[in-house]
């Protein structure tokens, strides 16, 4: 006999205890969380913002203070509500009603907001542990005595307006450890925030609209200076400048309306034209090429090239592009409440590729010729040398049967299948090239149809281009590099087992990642012309 379950249809409120923990995992990075709080300050017309990473009596707190408009009691209660009322100004950076709460509790278990308006002070707090204990959305009013010093600091900072955000019980910003370890983590956090916020709010800082200071525990406060990814005003000690490319305006039609966004580019100077301080200033790195996307003057995305546009390549490390749009295009670019995601529609992506293509081709010009000329079968000497000693270097048995490749060695007496390994027909070649490898690795083990170990090199890896151009006129050096990478592949086959295959893969990825950064110190291909 079936039993009917009675459903209460008049109350579908979610469990506060469960939901408040879930809302901590909305995907904020540390830097994005800080930036979201600053967005709110700017939206409140703040011109001065202070960030303090405080470490006292073994407790780490974050305190962010602004001299903005401040809030009345009613405004504060609304601001503390998840999904607070929409701001009247559509340009507002803090426009989604979630940032203050989700950005804060992503990294702390207690959020305290102190504010004052027209000389009247107010305070409210969300305490996650209390919400879990009571399973109720109980908004606290913190004791004015407990926060007396903080209210005093707020008044001194702002006069009769302004707001102070305090993150207490910060369980996700730094890890537990000794006093020295904690202070070192706080110092590192400060450096990361300095780098990120100086770029996110570059346009505000550069214009003088806003000043942001950062005080790290044990150090003096430091005013942030805006960092322009295009380095448009850079002039090196030798008089070399970045080449700023012409700005272009792109019209967009959507939902019966029309708007525009702008794109401009820059080619920063070559490494050889920069000293160590200048390289640090321009943040010369493979990871810093590509698009920097701004919404209403606020950087919201900078992760190379948008999806399905281009991949990161050492040959275009010097190319950077700025895309700027205003609030009217929020829906077109699918901006989320973290303001860290951008989805570019296909037609806009194609237009961006058309605009950037001439800039990109200019950098690529000549380099492909150099690379292909220098590496086309220059691997021949290594192929012959490796084959000559295969009797002594063989350390695994590889069997190729159609699409199935098995391996056994001293660690793996019973043959197991190697998934995803490349198999080549040409039995005379030991060193192969592919445009790119999974994860943008520099190399990976492969084999031929006879089961001989081969190595496959990823041409998209910056170290590939640079090492072969450094050695392009030295056959023995080229052979030595090929031998080294083949030996790494051969060693992986010799150590491969079901138990350690993931460890070996991780090792290869870590080496490739390290070489990606170290390759910055090698000259670009174009610098040999």
Instruction: Give per-residue pLDDT as tens, 48-91.
Output: 999 999 999 899 999 999 999 999 999 999 999 987 776 666 66
Q: Are residues 144 and 72 in the same domain?
A: yes
What tokens were used for 77? Answer: 């209660």
Buried b (16+ CB within 10 A) or exposed e, 15-46: ebeeebeeebebebebbbbbbbbbbbbbbbeb
Q: Are residues 73 and 127 in the same domain?
A: yes
Residues 493 and 387 occupy one common structural domain: yes
Phi-psi region of 62 (alpha: psi -120 to 50; beta: other; left: phi over 0): beta
Q: Which of 223, 255, 276 lies at the terminal end of a domain, its last residue?
A: 223
Q: Are 34 and 135 part of one and the same domain?
A: yes
| Strand boundaries in 409-452, DSSP class E | 416-417, 423-424, 431-434, 443-448
CA atoms within 13 A of residue 444's CA, in its CB half-sphere: 23
Identify whether residues 291 and 209 lie together within a single domain. no
Shared domain for 358 and 484, answered yes or no, is no
pLDDT 10s per residue in the chain (529 long)? 444 445 455 666 788 898 998 889 888 899 999 999 999 999 999 999 999 999 998 999 999 999 999 999 999 999 999 877 766 666 665 555 578 999 999 999 999 999 999 989 999 999 999 999 999 999 999 999 999 999 999 999 998 899 999 999 999 999 999 999 999 999 999 999 999 999 999 999 999 999 999 999 989 999 999 999 999 999 988 888 999 998 999 999 988 899 999 999 999 998 778 888 998 999 988 889 999 999 999 999 998 998 778 888 877 889 999 999 998 998 898 877 666 678 899 999 999 999 999 888 888 764 554 444 444 457 888 999 999 999 999 999 999 998 899 999 999 999 999 988 999 998 999 999 888 888 789 999 999 999 999 999 988 888 887 887 677 678 888 899 999 999 999 999 999 999 999 999 999 999 999 998 888 777 765 443 3
Task: Mark whether 28 and 156 lie in a shared domain.
Answer: yes
Residue 1 lies in a domain: no
Output the pLDDT for position 470: 74
User: For residue 515, is it within any domain?
Assistant: yes
- Burial of 257 per CB tally in 10 Å (0-12, 13-18, 19+): exposed
Q: Could you tell me if residue 328 is inside a domain?
A: yes
For the chain, what is the domain count?
3
Q: Is 491 among the domain residues?
A: yes
Residues 380 and 351 in one domain: no
Adjacency order of strands within the sheet including 163-168: 120-127, 110-117, 163-168, 59-66, 48-56, 211-216, 222-223
Predicted local distance difference test score (pLDDT) of residue 112 = 98
Selection from 221, 186, 166, 223 nearest residue 37 by Cα: 166
496 and 376, same structural domain? yes
| pLDDT tens digits, one per residue of 473-510 | 788 888 999 999 999 999 999 999 999 999 999 999 99
User: Quick one: which H or E segment has residue 253?
Assistant: strand 243-254
> Residue 23 is part of which domain span?
16-223
Is residue 232 included in any domain, yes or no? Answer: no
What length is written for the chain? 529
Burial (0-12, 13-18, 19+ Cβ within 10 Å), 13: exposed
Whole-number Å distance between alpha carbons of 59 and 110: 13
CB 106 within 8 A of CB 120: no
Task: Assess whether 36 and 84 both reside in one domain.
Answer: yes
* Shared-domain flag, residues 94 and 29: yes
Look at residue 303 and tell me if it is in a domain: yes
The pLDDT, as a whole number, for residue 82 is: 85
């Amino acid at each position: 006999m079936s039993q009917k379950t009675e459903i209460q249809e008049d109350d579908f409120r979610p469990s506060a205890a469960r939901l408040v923990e879930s809302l901590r995992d909305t995907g904020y990075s540390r830097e994005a969380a800080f930036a979201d709080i600053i967005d709110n300050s700017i939206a409140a017309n703040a011109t001065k913002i202070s960030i303090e990473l405080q470490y006292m009596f073994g407790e780490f707190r974050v305190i962010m203070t602004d001299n903005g408009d401040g809030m009345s009691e009613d405004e504060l209660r609304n601001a503390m509500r998840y999904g607070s009322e929409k701001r009247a100004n559509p340009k507002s950076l803090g426009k989604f009603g979630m940032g203050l709460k989700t950005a804060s509790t992503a990294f702390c278990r207690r959020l305290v907001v102190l504010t004052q308006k027209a000389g009247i002070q107010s305070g409210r707090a969300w305490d996650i542990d209390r919400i879990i204990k009571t399973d109720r959305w109980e908004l606290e009013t913190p004791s004015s005595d407990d926060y007396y010093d903080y209210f005093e600091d707020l008044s001194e900072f702002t006069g009769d307006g302004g707001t102070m955000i305090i993150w207490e019980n910060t369980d996700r910003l730094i890890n537990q450890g000794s006093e020295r370890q904690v202070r070192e983590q706080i110092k590192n956090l400060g450096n990361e925030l300095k780098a990120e916020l100086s770029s996110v709010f570059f346009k505000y800082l550069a214009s003088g609209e806003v000043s942001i200071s950062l005080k790290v525990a044990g150090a003096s406060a430091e005013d942030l200076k805006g960092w322009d990814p295009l380095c448009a005003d850079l002039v090196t000690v030798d008089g070399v400048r970045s080449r700023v490319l012409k700005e272009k305006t792109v019209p967009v039609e959507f939902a019966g309306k029309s708007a525009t966004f702008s794109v401009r580019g820059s080619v920063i100077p070559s490494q050889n034209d920069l000293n160590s301080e200048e390289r640090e200033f321009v943040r010369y790195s493979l990871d810093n090429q590509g698009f920097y996307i701004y919404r209403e003057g606020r950087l919201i995305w900078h992760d190379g090239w948008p999806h399905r546009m281009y991949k990161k390549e050492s040959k275009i490390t010097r190319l950077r592009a700025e895309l700027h749009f205003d609030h009217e295009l929020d829906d077109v670019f699918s901006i989320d409440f973290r303001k860290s995601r951008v989805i570019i529609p296909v037609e806009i992506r194609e237009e961006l590729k058309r605009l950037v293509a001439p800039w990109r081709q200019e950098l690529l010009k000549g380099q492909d010729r150099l690379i292909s000329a220098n590496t086309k079968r220059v691997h021949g000497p290594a192929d012959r040398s490796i084959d000559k000693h295969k009797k002594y270097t063989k350390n695994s048995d590889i069997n190729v049967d159609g699409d199935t490749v098995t391996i056994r060695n001293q660690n793996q007496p019973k043959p197991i299948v190697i998934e995803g390994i490349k198999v080549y027909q040409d039995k005379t070649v030991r060193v192969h090239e592919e445009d790119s490898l999974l994860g943008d690795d520099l190399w990976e083990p492969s084999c031929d149809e006879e089961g001989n170990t081969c190595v496959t090199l990823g041409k998209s890896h910056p170290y590939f281009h640079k090492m072969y151009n450094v050695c392009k006129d030295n056959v023995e050096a080229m052979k030595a590099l090929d031998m080294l990478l083949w030996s790494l592949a051969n060693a992986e086959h010799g150590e491969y087992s079901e138990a350690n295959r993931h460890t070996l893969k991780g090792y290869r990825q870590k080496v490739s990642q390290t070489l990606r950064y170290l390759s910055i110190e090698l000259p670009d291909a174009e610098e040999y012309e």
